[in-house]
Amino acid sequence: MSAKVTTTFTFSSTDIASDTLSFSVSEVLSLTGSGGIERLNLAAATGSGSSYTIYQENSFPASTPTYLYIKNITGSGFSASAGGPSTASVVHLMQTGSGHNTNNQPQHPLARITMGNFAYIPMNPTSSYQIWQGNMLGAEGNIAADTIVEFGIFN
């Protein structure tokens, strides 16, 4: 099976510097393997300091370009000041597996994705990738509130 996916990143601002800043990068990916979007509630995976594995190492050959799309959809169950550091649900992405940190807590995550934000990351297919929910104030992996995450692995 083969499919094409177009990704575009645009960065622009009229007031970040003395000149207007604007650039855009596009890439068409020819996918030869699997792909698709999943949605899950991290509250079911956490509560005991555990994580949810979104990709198991060596699921694809090391020579195959592999990409991760991940979005923190919601953080319901937090206070009305959601988005503040003490109440926001944060998704932590860890890279683990052979030669990587196998600690079960996100002390040094590859990415922290706050509510409503997303990441698009080229992956190392020989590593595992896991996610946790937390609030960045020590409650990582132990929040009972719903945190809905959408993700897809494409190669």
Dump the DSSP string for 93-139: EEEESTTS---SS-SS-SEEE-TT-EEEEEE-TTSEEEEEEE-SSS-
Residue 143 lies in a domain: yes
Residue 53 lies in a domain: yes
The rounded radius of gyration (Å) of the Cα atoms in the chain is 17
Distance separating alpha carbons of residues 103 and 121, to the nearest angstrom: 22
Residue 3 lies in a domain: no
Residues in the chain: 155
The answer to whether 68 and 123 have CB atoms below 8 angstroms apart is: yes
48-79 as b/e: b if 16+ CB within 10 A: eeebbebbebeebeeeeebbbbbbbbbbeebe
- pLDDT tier at 119, thresholds 50, 70, 90: very high
Residue 25 lies in a domain: no
Residue 99 lies in a domain: yes
Q: What does the pLDDT read at residue 82?
A: 46
CATH of the domain at 148: 2.60.120
Is this model's pTM higher than 0.75 or not? Answer: no
Residue 15 lies in a domain: no
Higher pLDDT: 30 or 116? It is: 116
Determine phi and psi for 139, rounding to 5 degrees.
-100, 15
The answer to whether 45 and 143 have CB atoms below 8 angstroms apart is: no
Q: Judge whether residue 141 has pLDDT over 60.
A: no
Number of structural domains the chain divides into = 1
Range of the domain at 73: 31-154
Residue 101 lies in a domain: yes
Higher pLDDT: 23 or 82? It is: 23
The answer to whether 11 and 17 have CB atoms below 8 angstroms apart is: no
Residue 18 lies in a domain: no
